[in-house]
Structure 1
Amino acid sequence: MNDPLLELREATVSYRTAQGLVPAVRGVDLRLEAGQTLGLAGESGCGKSTLAMAVLRLLPRNAELGGQVLLAGEDVRAMSWGRLRAVRWAQASVVFQGAMHALNPVQRVGEQIAEPIRLHSSRPDNKVSARVGELLEQVGLPARRASAYPHELSGGQRQRVMIAMALACEPGLVIADEPTTALDVMVQAQVLTLLSRLVDELDIGLLMISHDLSVLGSTCARLAVMYAGRIVELGPSEQVLRHPAHPYTKALAAAFPTIGDPASRLAPRGLPGDPPDPAQLPGGCPFHPRCPSALETCSDTDVRLRAVGDRSVACVLEVEA
């Protein structure tokens, strides 16, 4: 059998600080095959982007990566810098949050798309421009926009350029980190439709990160919910969204107002407080200080992700039930 595009086995990321090691990702297990879509949800500070950057070792120098991060069966931690450089773009690529900040403002977008093609392929220069045009048309932009500078494009067009750049070397895995956060709802819908179409047409694996459950639900077949550096619920998106099992997932789903329901607009539901400081995690289940269903045992019982029906949940209530 072929190895999955991406497999995380007890993956951990900690940051070295003056106070010691601070855990940002704590023992995550995930698997993604070609043609599959996986959403990663959670509040800011839960470790989503850190986990995504760990896949290609795009972490700061004070970060320590543990466990196993396997790309097509090859451990990223064991890769030399030369091998890692060859894998980036060609085997796995990233669509970063905020295209205006990710693109070079003084370089035409066509040249920025062409750069990874020249670095990672033997395509002759006279065919690179044609490839850039193909990529732009693939993401819904005319080839002539290759001569534009980033400031001459709208937010949605810049995000499409970032997607074209991520696809430039035909990688098997694309990681999209909050790709629609800065876009209006109409452009957001267009970008999400584009990503879904590309997964179907190119048979790539898509790992999409967002704090917006509705965005992930409309794009990804499976959904993982992350809290305090761990996955607390994992399963089919429709099941997780319609019938959330973990109290944190329930709170995230309930935080979105219902269109046409004045009660949800005037009295929005949410969670008190913020995710815990990774340097000062509470004992037991890290969610128990904010959990409306917490039991006395939750303060000293830390339940790891376990199979519960058609999904996996890290909650003593669900496991015991």
Structure 2
Amino acid sequence: MSLLEIRDLHVTYRSGGADLPAVRGVDLDVRAGETVGIAGESGCGKSTMAGAVLRLLPTGTKVTGAVRLAGEDVLTMSWGRLRAVRWSAASIVFQGAMHGLNPVRRIGQQIAEPILLHRPGTPAKKAAAHAGDLLEQVGVPAWRAGSYPHELSGGQRQRAMIAMALACEPQLVIADEPTTALDVMVQAQVLALLRDLVRDRGVGMLLISHDLSVLADMCDRVAVMYAGRIVEEGPGERLFTDAAHPYAKALAAAFPVIGDMASRRAPRGLPGDPPDPRELPSGCAFHPRCSVAVPECERIDVRLRPAGPERATACVHIGAPSELEVAQ
């Protein structure tokens, strides 16, 4: 059984009297000891899906489907049960540590807080000592527990966020753009830390990024999202080097290939912008930007279909039509 099972997840925001479908029928699994990546441009639904896993979305957001964590549906949990699950069974490393950390509380206090909440009876001194140990484990000196967030570098703040996510030894860690705004060297250090976390602790990880090259290096499997749907899923490295869906190919082509002169190429941009969720195009949502679109793309909404060993894609050019595809 998968550690995390997402089935037919739909998330719809309400804005200005209109419905904004941010996630449209996503299925995804994460197993223990596995890193699954989610790639896509800003606005494709990556962070919304992550927020739905732990019910962190704004009040009034409509969420349907199933999100099962260790077999238990998060979407139907009572608030008391949900409170117990957050941090202890699943935790999240938010995008941008300065927004995720309390600026007027010391780092050590913030790391110790979930320990005190989820393990009643733990002495405050023991929780504080554990917070220092966690900082050491993520490469930050324990004495930094007495620092405020603004006194740390960007990389140290991000490491402190990871330490906080590990405080209650969760089974699942969601990392939402964990290297945003970090320089290249610090980014590499944080990614190496996350890789060691999965290897040494056996946790499942959902790693969200717009950088497909990072996900190809870090993840066992990668799912590419566009306009709220997964359009391709497969092994990380192969998806980066041999994508099937035109959008996944465009994401891969946006990053330079470094090597000898024969294999080196300049990155290529993707023209146009993602569609407005309130005015999604008919058929395949990507067809207005697709260089290989055919008339069928404007009227057939293609769902994921097999595209080789352990791979699936949602493109009219791949495989045969199925009854799950909806004519527009």
Name the TM-score class by shorter chain.
Answer: over 0.9
Aligned to 2:313: 313
* Alignment of 1:290 onto 2:289: yes
CA deviation string 1:277-306 (max 9, x = no partner): 111000000000000010111000111011
Match of 1:65 among 59, 63, 72: 63
Q: Following TM superposition, by how much is the alpha carbon of 1:31 offset from its aligned partner in structure 2, in angstroms?
A: 0.4
Question: Does the 8 A contact of 1:24 with 1:46 survive in 2?
Answer: yes
2:158: which partner in 1?
Answer: 159
Check if 1:195 corresponds to 2:185.
no
**Structure 1 partner of 2:325:** none
Paired position in structure 2 for 1:28: 26
CA distance in 2, matches of 1:192, 1:218: 10
Q: How does 1:231-242 map to 2 (within 5 A)?
A: 231-242=230-241
SS at match of 1:289: helix
Residue in structure 2 matched with residue 132 of structure 1 by the alignment: 131
Which residue type is aligned with residue 216 of structure 1? L
Aligned to 1:113: 111
CA drift at 1:315: 0.5
Question: For each residue in 1:197-244, what CA deviation from the matched residue of structure 2 results, as whole angstroms up to 9, or x when unmatched?
Answer: 011111000000000011111211110000000000001001101100
2:324 alignment counterpart: none
- Greater displacement, 122-131 / 152-161: 122-131
Q: State the alpha-carbon separation in 2 of the partners of residues 258 and 244 from structure 1.
A: 15
**What residue identity is the alignment partner of 1:205?**
G
Aligned mates of 2:243, 2:213 — CA distance in 1: 13
Counterparts of 2:290 and 2:268, CA distance in 1: 13
Take 1:86 and 1:105, find their aligned partners in 2: how far apart are those partners?
Answer: 25
Which of residues 88, 104, 111 is equivalent to 1:90?
A: 88
The unaligned stretches of length 5 or more in structure 1 are none
Q: Which amino acid aligns with 1:58?
A: L
Q: What residue number does 2:210 align with?
A: 211
Pairwise CA distance, 1:124: 2.2
User: 1 CA distance for matches of 2:16 and 2:136?
Assistant: 49
Q: Describe the SS at the equivalent of 1:106.
A: coil
* Residue identity opposite 2:211 in structure 1: D
Look up the match of 1:75: 73
What CA distance in whole angstroms lies between the structure 2 residues aligned with 1:237 and 1:175?
A: 17
Equivalent residues of 1:14, 1:23 under 8 A apart: yes
- 1:235-267 C-alpha deviation (Å, 9 max, x unpaired): 1001101100000000000011334769844xx
- The amino acid that maps onto 2:316 is V
Letter of the structure 2 residue corresponding to residue 8 of structure 1: I
Query: Would you say the 8 A contact 1:313–1:319 is kept in 2?
Result: no
Instruction: Report if aligned partners of 2:217, 2:237 keep a CA contact under 8 Å in 1.
Output: no
Classify the secondary structure of the residue corresponding to 2:288. Answer: coil
Bigger drift between 254-263 and 278-287 goes to 254-263
Matched position secondary structure for 1:317:
coil
Structure 2 counterpart of 1:313, which letter?
T
Residue by residue over 1:3-46, the C-alpha shift from the partner in whole angstroms, topping out at 9 and shown as x without a partner, is 42210000110012334322110000000011000000000010
Separation (CA, whole Å) in 2 of partners of 1:109 and 1:17: 36
Q: Measure, in 1, the Cα distance between the counterparts of 2:204 and 2:60.
A: 29
Cα distance in 2 for partners of 1:40, 1:249 equals: 12
1:144 lines up with 2:140 in the alignment: no
Tell me the SS of whatever aligns to 1:206.
strand
Equivalent-residue separation in structure 2 for 1:18 and 1:102 (angstroms): 28
Give me the CA root mean square deviation: 1.5
User: Could you tell me the TM-score, scaled by structure 2's length?
Assistant: 0.94
Q: Secondary structure at the match of 2:9?
A: strand
Aligned residues: 317
Deviations 1:154-187 (A, max 9, x none): 1000000000000001100000000001100000
1:103 to 101, 122, 125: 101
Show the counterpart of 1:56. 54
Task: Name the amino acid aligned to 2:233.
Answer: L
Matched, 1:252 2:264: no
State the one-letter code of the partner of 1:134. D
Residue identity in the other structure for 1:177: D
Deviates more, 1:62-71 or 1:48-57: 62-71
Q: Does 1:5 align with 2:42?
A: no
Output the CA distance in 2 between the equivalents of 1:19 and 1:263: 49
Amino acid in structure 2 at the alignment position of 1:83: R
Deviations 1:105-154 (A, max 9, x none): 11110000001110001322231122111111111112111111111111
Q: Assess if the C-alpha contact under 8 Å between 2:20 and 2:277 holds in 1.
A: yes
State the identity as a percent.
Answer: 66
Q: What TM-score do the two structures reach when normalised by structure 1? A: 0.96
